[in-house]
Amino acid sequence: MLRLVFGLFLLSTILHSSPEFGDPSNESHNNKKFEPGKMIMHHILDSHEWHVFDWKGKAFSIPLPIIIYHETKGLSTFMSSKFNHGHDTHKGYMMDHGNIVCVNEMGEVDQNETSKIWDFSITKNVFSLFFSIIILLSIFLTISKKYNVRANRAPSGLQSFLEPIIIFIRDDIAKSAIGEKDYQRYLPFLLTVFFFIFLNNLLGLVPLFPGGANLTGNIAVPMVMSAMVFIITTLSGKKYYWKHIFAMPGVPKPVLLILTPIEIFGVLLKPLVLMIRLFANITAGHIIILSFLSMIFIFGEMHPAAGYGVSVFSGMFVLFMLTLELLVAFLQAYVFTLLAAMYFGSAVEEH
C-alpha cells in the first residue's frame, strides 16, 4: 500500500513539475506536441533551480545561488530567480538550455564572452551533495556520541538500525577483501562511500525537494569517487602488487611483452568500470521509469482512451520499477564498496 501511494504521488508530481505538462486549458500546451526526450532529460540533468511544479502556465521553483567568475567582468553573485526560468537576462547573462551564457546588447548569445565564464554556482546536484553530507555528519556524529555515552550497552534507536550495516561492511567486505592486518586503514573510506552512495540513491527516488536530484547519476560524482579509489590503490600498492603488473613471476619475457600492457591497461580500466557501473545503473533506472510514464501521453495524443488504457500498465510497471530501484540503491552502493575493497586488498596483498 505504501509503495502504491508513493508511486501515485511520484506520477502526480512529475505531471505537474514538468514544463511539458501544463494546464490542460492552456491552448499553447494543447497545441504543443509532447516531447518525451525533452521531458526525460529535464528530470535527469542538473539545473540552476529546483523546479517544483507548473500550475496554469506558471512555473514554481526554488531559486539557487548563481556564482560566476568572468575573466573580464569579475565575480558576480545572484539568485537564479533573476533569470525568470530562462526568459530574462541579468548583468549581461542569461540561461540557455541549462547553461549560463553572455549576451550582447541585442540579446544575442556572445560565444566569445561565454567562453570566459567560470561557473561555480550551487546547482541542484551541488545542493544535494551538501545536503547529503550534512545528513551523514548529523547521523554519524550523533551515533558516535551515543557510543561514548552508552559504552558497553545495547544500541538503541538509529544506532541499532545502522550498527548491523556497519558490521556487515566491516566483516563481509573490508575484512574478507583486504584482510585482518590492513582492513582498518580503509574502513572509514569504505563506510563513507557506501553510505554516501546509498543515501543519495534513495534521495534520488524522492520526487519532491530536497529529493529528486540525480546526483549519483551525474557522471562527475562517480568519476571523483572512482578517482579516489584509483589514487588510494596506487599509493597503497606494495612491491608484490607492482611486480605482478610489470613483471609477472614465472612468465617468459616474450609473453610479458603482451601481458604487461594488458595489466597496465587493467589498472586504469578498474576505476573506469566503477564509474560507468554506478552512473549507468542509476541513470538507466530513472530513464526507464520516465519512459513508461511518457507512454501515457504518447498514446494519449493518438486518442484519450488509448492514453487511459496504457496508463494502467504504465503505472503498474512504474510501481514495479520503484520497488526494484530500492534494491538497486542498496546494491550499487554495495558493489562499489566491495570492488573498492577488492582493489585495496590486491594492492596490499602479501606474497
Contacts of range 11-16, beta carbons closer than 8 Å, 24 or more positions apart: 11/293, 11/315, 11/318, 13/53, 13/207, 13/208, 14/43, 14/207, 14/290, 14/293, 16/53, 16/54, 16/55
Range 205-224 average pLDDT: 84
- pLDDT score at 337: 93
Q: Which amino acid is at 344?
A: F
For the chain, give the mean pLDDT.
80
Choice among 2-6, 120-124, 137-141, 240-244 with the minimum mean pLDDT: 2-6
Task: Name, of 32-36, 92-96, 278-282, 311-315, the range with top average pLDDT.
Answer: 278-282
Residue 178: all three cell numbers together: 583486504
The residue-averaged pLDDT of 253-280 equals: 83
pLDDT at 14: 45
Kindly report the number of other CB atoms within 10 A of residue 268's CB atom. Answer: 9
Which pLDDT score is estimated for 31?
A: 55
Model confidence at 135, in pLDDT bands (50, 70, 90)? very high
Residue 103, phi then psi, degrees to nearest 5: -125, 150
Give the span between the Cα atoms of 320 and 323, in whole angstroms: 5
C-alpha cell at 280: 549507468
Alpha helices per DSSP H over 33-169:
36-44, 111-114, 124-149, 158-168
Cell numbers linked to 186: 580503509
Q: Which of 132-146, 215-229, 244-258, 302-316 has the lowest mean pLDDT?
A: 244-258
Q: Mean pLDDT across the stretch 317-326? A: 84
Q: What's the Cα-to-Cα distance from 59 to each of 17, 50, 100, 214, 311, rounded to whole Å?
A: 8, 11, 19, 21, 25
